[in-house]
Amino acid sequence: MKISRTGLRACALLLLASPTITGAEVAPLPPPKHGGVYVVAHRGAHDGIPENTLAAYRRAIELGADFVEIDLRTTKDGELVSIHNDTVDAYVDDVRGRVADMTLEALRALDLGARFGPEYAGERIPTFEEILALCKGKIGIYLDMKHADAAQALALIRKYDMERHVLWYAGAAQLSQVVALCPECIPMPDPGVEALLPMVLERHKPRVVAAVWRGFSKTFVETCHAAGAIVIVDESDPSCWEQALAWGADGIQTDHPAELIAFLEKRARE
């Protein structure tokens, strides 16, 4: 039986995605949906839609992205919400302040969608629990721990039985805490620069490694694959895609998920 290039790549990804973490048996990641490459919708699919909102996450689900990236922060009264910046200044016209200094009620009073058009009026900063409820069974989560407690986030992830569907992007101390509390969870360290990659691989023995474009290379991918880890790279812009795949990237985080999906599907047909 002839197996396509895309099929071979998907099989390889399943094998790469299944090493153990601290001796615990863990399930492989679901296979990528498009051309054998994971598509991560950065802050959701937010072309003409307010970023980091349920509307942006719904759109990413509709497109068929593999993961949505969310930025987790903590409110003054201890609630977990998704918002990228540490202040609300850039999102609304008439309110200023730090997320950490505002209650959930005050944050939920902000209309993030009005400036995008009447169809998005009333779109609010979502809670982490709302996001988990929306995504469960539909899409994975690339969890960027901006300012949040790992144990608190994990309790909600466990409530929705999504331990194997969340990639944890955080600092070394938090990732170690996550693994200690949840061996089946998926830490995703980012070495920042390639010189630190061997140390990161030895310390965390990850199944998934994050990379930023400025620190990404063919040897970066080769080192990760040799250690049994796949690589998701944060693009600089769409002009990076061809080079990222030529170097062996297993996933791409992008602000343009619809275009990336079309690009991958066209490439798979060629």
Q: What is the DSSP letter of 268?
A: H
- Whether this prediction's pTM lies above 0.85 is answered by yes
Q: What's the pLDDT band for 28 if we cut at 50, 70, 90?
A: confident
In the chain, the percentage of residues whose pLDDT exceeds 70 is 90
SS3 label, residue 4: coil
pLDDT of 17 > 70? The answer is no
Looking up residue 28, the CATH number of its domain turns out to be: 3.20.20.190
C-alpha span between 221 and 214 (Å, rounded): 14
Number of neighbouring beta carbons within 10 Å of residue 32: 20
Interval 45-103: pLDDT, tens: 999 999 999 999 999 999 999 999 999 999 999 999 999 999 999 999 999 999 999 99
Domain that holds residue 65: 5-269
pLDDT of 223 > 50? The answer is yes
Interval 229-268: pLDDT, tens: 999 999 999 999 999 999 999 999 999 999 999 999 999 9
C-alpha span between 268 and 57 (Å, rounded): 25
Interval 105-139: pLDDT, tens: 999 999 999 999 999 999 999 999 999 999 999 99
Q: Find all residues with CB under 8 Å of 267, minimum gap 6, and list them.
A: 35, 245
Distance between alpha carbon 10 and the CA centroid of its chain, in Å? 19
In this predicted structure, what is the pLDDT of residue 65?
98
Number of neighbouring beta carbons within 10 Å of residue 42: 27
C-alpha span between 230 and 220 (Å, rounded): 11
Q: What is the DSSP letter of 13?
A: H
Q: Find all residues with CB under 8 Å of 65, minimum gap 6, and list them.
A: 33, 39, 40, 41, 45, 139, 257, 261
- Name the domain count of the chain: 1
